[in-house]
Amino acid sequence: MKIGNVEVRHGLFLAPMAGFSDRAMRRVCHEMGAEYSVSEMISAKAVTFGDKKTFSLATIKEDEGPVALQIFGSEPDVIGRAAEILTQKDWASFGLASPVAIDINMGCPVHKIFSNGEGSALMRDPELIYRIVRAVKESTYLPVTVKHRTGVDSSHINAVECALAAEAGGAELITVHGRTKTQMYSGGVDRETIKKVKNSLHIPVIANGDILSADDAISMLKDTGSDGIAIGRGAVGNPFIFSEIRSALCGESFTPPTLEEKVDVALWQLRLAIEDKGEEKAVPEARKQIASYLHSFRGAAQIRAKINRALTYGEIEQIFTEALKEENQY
């Protein structure tokens, strides 16, 4: 599968996650086998205002692999202008990589986004979806992609209609999270609706939702017929999942990481975050991600509590060192 000039051989995507899919996570996941990543969501309106914090979310380094920038908004002209600004910005002059696509968020279920008519609220109006995609398509030479859900609630499952509107507007790829807005991130994933979207479109469709292992990935691909999978929460604290899935797709054996390897990668991700944001900001922001690497440790809850109080890299490194020492006693 190709998205613009980018070949995504095995269909392995890192899904966008606000507060998670930052540069450090994208770099680590790329190293572990993610072939394509999507940034944290970026406010289109803030881009047009020239907000510096917003532009920091849009920066990409060469070693992250192909990265699309995800923008959100509800006004076609504003979101189109934001796409134009992000496309035309001279990223190379700052030593940064350019985005490989513009992704439009039509799936965020968070109340403050939804109540503003953005994110998953756009699924209430397929005609507006068409106009937004069309506006972005006319504002950038980059591929335009869309991520949405199955619908707003169980009484309004209209993913096919929304996907067709996006395709008609010029979208070159659709990612479907198999839940409604009201489900948020819980409840079963509706693979049947993802399959219906896939069977209705002429462009690639990526399946998203509850992919926590290679078995989940293989069954998702089989059940939906999708062209690839987007992994979000399943990659938090477990970037190794991309290597696991790629091995399964290629019929190769996979050796799970040792506890020592998990610690090494967790600390590497933290160092990348510190390099990017500075220790004072990076450590508090990264705690939830770093603590997720502890899933298979004995006494993980107590160790996480210690990490959640840590303020420096040195403190977290010491916590991990002590945790490994405890593990090796068994």
Q: Supply the pLDDT for residue 53.
A: 85
User: Based on the number of CB atoms within 10 Å of its own CB, is 252 exposed (0-12), middle (13-18) or buried (19 or more)?
Assistant: exposed
Does 64 reside within a domain?
A: yes
Are 316 and 226 found together in one domain? no
Whether residue 53 is contained in a domain is answered as yes
Q: Are residues 218 and 282 in the same domain?
A: no
Q: How far is C-alpha 280 from the geometric centre of its chain's CA atoms?
A: 25
Pairing of β 228-231 and β 205-208: parallel
- Residues 187, 267 share a domain: no
Q: What is the CA radius of gyration of the chain?
A: 20
* 305 and 232 housed in the same domain: no
Q: Which is catalytic among the residues 29, 108, 162, 250?
A: 108
Identify each DSSP E strand in 209-289 by its residue range.
228-231
Joined tokens for residue 323: 């945790």
184: CATH: 3.20.20.70
Judgement on whether residues 220 and 263 belong to the same structural domain of the protein: no
- The CATH number linked to 312 is 1.10.1200.80
Determine the pLDDT at residue 274: 97
Residue 216 sits in the same domain as residue 304: no
| In-domain check, residue 150 | yes
Does the residue 254 lie in any domain? no
Residue-wise pLDDT tens digits, 232-284? 999 999 999 999 999 999 999 999 999 999 999 999 999 999 999 999 999 99
Instruction: Give yes or no: residues 217 and 288 share one domain.
Output: no
Of 216, 249, 282, the residue at which a domain comes to its end is 249
Angle, nearest 10°, between helix axes 241-249 and 214-224? 60
Measured distance CA(106)–CA(197) in Å, rounded: 15
| 108 carries an active-site annotation | yes
Residue 198 domain-assigned?
A: yes
pLDDT value at position 328?
Answer: 75
Give the span between the Cα atoms of 262 and 294, in whole angstroms: 8
Q: Which residues of the chain have pLDDT under 70?
A: 330
Predicted local confidence at residue 330, as pLDDT: 63
Looking at residue 49, the DSSP 8-state letter turns out to be: H
Shared domain for 218 and 151, answered yes or no, is yes
Q: How far is CA 260 from CA 181, 220, 225, in A?
A: 39, 31, 37
Q: Are residues 163 and 108 in the same domain?
A: yes
Range of the domain at 133: 2-249
190 occurs within a structural domain: yes
Pair 161, 228 in one domain: yes
The residue among 204, 226, 249 that closes a domain is: 249
Specify whether 276 is located in the same domain as 224: no
CA pair distance 199, 203, nearest whole angstrom: 10
CA gap 52, 257 in Å, rounded = 38
Looking at the structure, do residues 159 and 308 belong to the same domain, yes or no?
no
Give me the number of domains the chain comprises. Answer: 2
Mark which of 203, 228, 249 sits at the end of a domain: 249
